[in-house]
Amino acid sequence: MSARRLRKTLAVPAAAVLAAPLALAAPPVAAETVDTGDLTVTYVESARWNTGYSGEITVHNASGADLTDWTLEFELPEGGRVHELWNATVEGTAEEGYTVTPPRWGAVVPAGGSYVFGFNGVHEGGNTHLLDCSINGANCAGTPSQGPEHDELSVAYFTQWGVKERDYHVRDLIDSGSADKLTHINYAFGNVGSDGECFMTNDPEDGDALADYGRAVPASESVDGAPDGPGQPLRGNFNQLRKLKELYPELVISISLGGWNWSEHFSDAALTPESRERMVSSCVDLYLRGDLPVIDGAGGEGAAYGIFDGIDLDWEWPGSEGNPHNTVRPEDRENFTALVREFREQLDALGEETGRHFELSSFMPAGAWRLDSGYELDEIMPDFDFITVQGYDYHGTWETTTNHQSNLLPDPNDPGEVISTLTNVEAYLERGVDPEKIVLGVPFYGQGWTGVEPGPAGDGLFQSASGPAPGLYADGTEDWKALKELSGFEVHRDDDLGTAWLYDGETFWTYDDEISMDQKTTWAMDNGLGGVMIWSIDGDDADGNLITAIDAALGR
């Protein structure tokens, strides 16, 4: 199915209006047409047994005119077929695909309404989603978005836990206008176990399969307004991402592996050729082939196929300390190179099998010392489509003195270790990295301290603190959407350094707003970088003002 389709219309014949004898005939009245962009189709697996299942298909008409004729075309996953269908007419086979039209007595889809029909089918244990689905020649999800109007990458991390802890859902990407401005979403995170394999679990310390694909998403949170059925093999965030991709077919979604809390076993998994092959194949099977373990009735072979377009590596950090529970070895540096090569080879093999390109990216650190201890950049960069470079957490509440967490340029008055986005990116360029493969990370949150005296400048910068500032989710950090609503704080800014902070005489927050986002994005473009990465998208406000500032600067 084409990613971009021309919009088409269905003409509804207009009847001529007959006038009374000797009266002038009134001109024909053109009936309102139905734009295919106003037509959507939703599917729910309503029941499943052994090798059979029941499905319900709904044709939605959001236009102002009745739809009197329609043609639905789709395929089923391998091994699936339609056994019987009611309230519509079906032709075709599992091999050639199916074409469904109204029954012989007709099936008008009223303006602003819908029409429902159902069928019984056969499955082989995987998902039963409609594939290559079109209604009157257009995408079943409606008119697809054209995406950002620029070639640079705009990458956002979507956090698994944000749905529960921050009430931020996949649908919010659409409601805020953010989805229109993104080229990539990295879903954070996938875990690697002590056996060196990617896995799913509902153990709160190690995963949340319920949020990933087990929770039945209600209509109010759903991308297309249709709730998840309790018998569906794919529910939760994964099913919402699938629906999002139907609306934005050029959006690239990758699974990000590791992160600060789940990098514990990376060193072991990367240690030998056998362990590397086992880790990579397990991750490919789980996320790219979509073979999810059945947990609470959800999952199955191929249940998540087609959602993820790549893998993002977030090992924090090879060859240097990260989370205290991590294993760290001197040989992590060369083992990471071999692990990246194994990922690239297996992704390419899957690409040849499926006719797709699967992307490989990596989150990379700030600080030259981490680069030299953990990365053979000249060896690994050819295997990556791009890398995202940490442009934040330069300073934070693990220190007892206030400072900038994401300043663009070095501050000559900094009494501590001088670090900045400029010096950070220069470390990569000096080691031969192509700037077009560098995507600059920016934070949608701030770092904060309390018990801060004003200091000689009266702004709290570079002053001792008694501890981290209270935060809504964790002390010492706060989302931008919350920081912008704080009262009693004065905004301080150094436009030369590309940095901003808030101070009220007691509490100090270093953060980024629309102005500094514009400054950093413009700087990245002026220096030939590949784009901007966001950690994390749930820190933006309901109107998507930060991503809007980034998008505007990328489009210059």
Q: 3-state SS of 420-450?
A: CHHHHHHHHHHCCCCHHHEEEEEECEEEEEE
Q: Say how far apart CA 130 and CA 519 lie, in whole Å.
A: 44
Q: Say how far apart CA 445 and CA 405 lie, in whole Å.
A: 10
Q: Say how far apart CA 426 and CA 428 lie, in whole Å.
A: 5
pLDDT of 344 above 80: yes
Across the range 347-372, mean pLDDT stands at: 95
Task: Please tell me the predicted confidence (pLDDT) of residue 326.
Answer: 97
**Which of 150-174 are b and which e, b meaning 16 or more Cβ less than 10 Å from the residue's Cβ?**
bebbbbbbbbbebbeebebbbbbbb
Across the range 220-234, mean pLDDT stands at: 91
Across the range 367-377, mean pLDDT stands at: 95
Task: Please tell me the predicted confidence (pLDDT) of residue 490.
Answer: 98
Q: Say how far apart CA 363 and CA 336 lie, in whole Å.
A: 13
- CATH fold for the domain made of 9-139: Immunoglobulin-like (2.60.40)
Cβ contact 405:394 at 8 Å: yes
pLDDT of 556 above 80: no
Mean pLDDT over all residues of the chain? 91
Do the domains spanning 9-139 and 153-444+513-554 agree at the CATH topology level? no
Across the range 527-541, mean pLDDT stands at: 98
∠ at Cα 57 (52, 59), nearest 5°? 170
Residue 40: how many other CB atoms lie within 10 Å: 24
Across the range 485-500, mean pLDDT stands at: 97
Task: Please tell me the predicted confidence (pLDDT) of residue 142.
Answer: 66
Q: Say how far apart CA 356 and CA 341 lie, in whole Å.
A: 18
Could you give the 3-state DSSP secondary structure of residue 397?
A: coil
What's the pLDDT tens digit per position in 75-99? 998 889 999 999 999 999 999 999 9
Token couple for 531: 């784009």
Lowest mean pLDDT among 31-35, 143-147, 201-205: 143-147
Across the range 153-163, mean pLDDT stands at: 98
pLDDT of 101 above 90: yes
pLDDT of 17 above 60: no
- With cut-offs at 50, 70 and 90, classify the pLDDT of residue 206: very high
Q: What residues contact residue 156 under an 8 Å CB cut-off, 6+ apart?
A: 178, 182, 184, 185, 186, 533, 534, 536, 537, 547
Cβ contact 506:451 at 8 Å: yes
Q: Say how far apart CA 269 and CA 276 lie, in whole Å.
A: 6
Q: Which of 173, 183, 180 is nearest to 530 (CA)?
A: 183
Task: Please tell me the predicted confidence (pLDDT) of residue 143.
Answer: 59
What's the pLDDT tens digit per position in 237-277? 999 999 999 899 899 999 999 999 999 999 999 999 999 99
Q: Which of 350, 241, 231, 221 is nearest to 304 (CA)?
A: 241
What's the pLDDT tens digit per position in 163-179? 999 999 999 999 999 99
Is this structure's pTM higher than 0.85? no
Residue type (1 letter), 548: T
Cβ contact 536:480 at 8 Å: no
Catalytic residues: 316
Could you give the 3-state DSSP secondary structure of residue 55?
A: strand
Q: Which residues, in sequence order, are bridge partners of residue 327?
A: none
Q: Say how far apart CA 49 and CA 123 lie, in whole Å.
A: 10
Q: Which residues, in sequence order, are bridge partners of residue 116?
A: 58
Q: Say how far apart CA 451 and CA 466 lie, in whole Å.
A: 5
Indicate the CATH number for domain 153-444+513-554: 3.20.20.80
- With cut-offs at 50, 70 and 90, classify the pLDDT of residue 125: confident
Q: Choose between 38 and 436: higher pLDDT.
A: 436
- CA-based radius of gyration for the chain: 27
Q: Say how far apart CA 298 and CA 209 lie, in whole Å.
A: 9
- With cut-offs at 50, 70 and 90, classify the pLDDT of residue 148: confident
What are the extents of the domains in the chain?
9-139, 153-444+513-554
Residue type (1 letter), 78: E
Q: Which residues, in sequence order, are bridge partners of residue 442?
A: 534
Residue 178: how many other CB atoms lie within 10 Å: 23
Q: What residues contact residue 221 under an 8 Å CB cut-off, 6+ apart?
A: 169, 171, 240
Q: Say how far apart CA 310 and CA 287 lie, in whole Å.
A: 9
Across the range 365-369, mean pLDDT stands at: 93
Q: Say how far apart CA 419 and CA 411 lie, in whole Å.
A: 8
Residue 434: how many other CB atoms lie within 10 Å: 15
- With cut-offs at 50, 70 and 90, classify the pLDDT of residue 26: very low
pLDDT of 13 above 60: no
What's the pLDDT tens digit per position in 279-297? 999 999 999 999 999 999 9
pLDDT of 386 above 50: yes
302-to-27, 81, 232 alpha-carbon distances in Å: 57, 16, 13
- With cut-offs at 50, 70 and 90, classify the pLDDT of residue 8: very low
What's the pLDDT tens digit per position in 459-492? 999 999 999 999 999 999 999 999 999 999 999 9
Q: Which residues, in sequence order, are bridge partners of residue 311?
A: 255, 360
- With cut-offs at 50, 70 and 90, classify the pLDDT of residue 63: confident
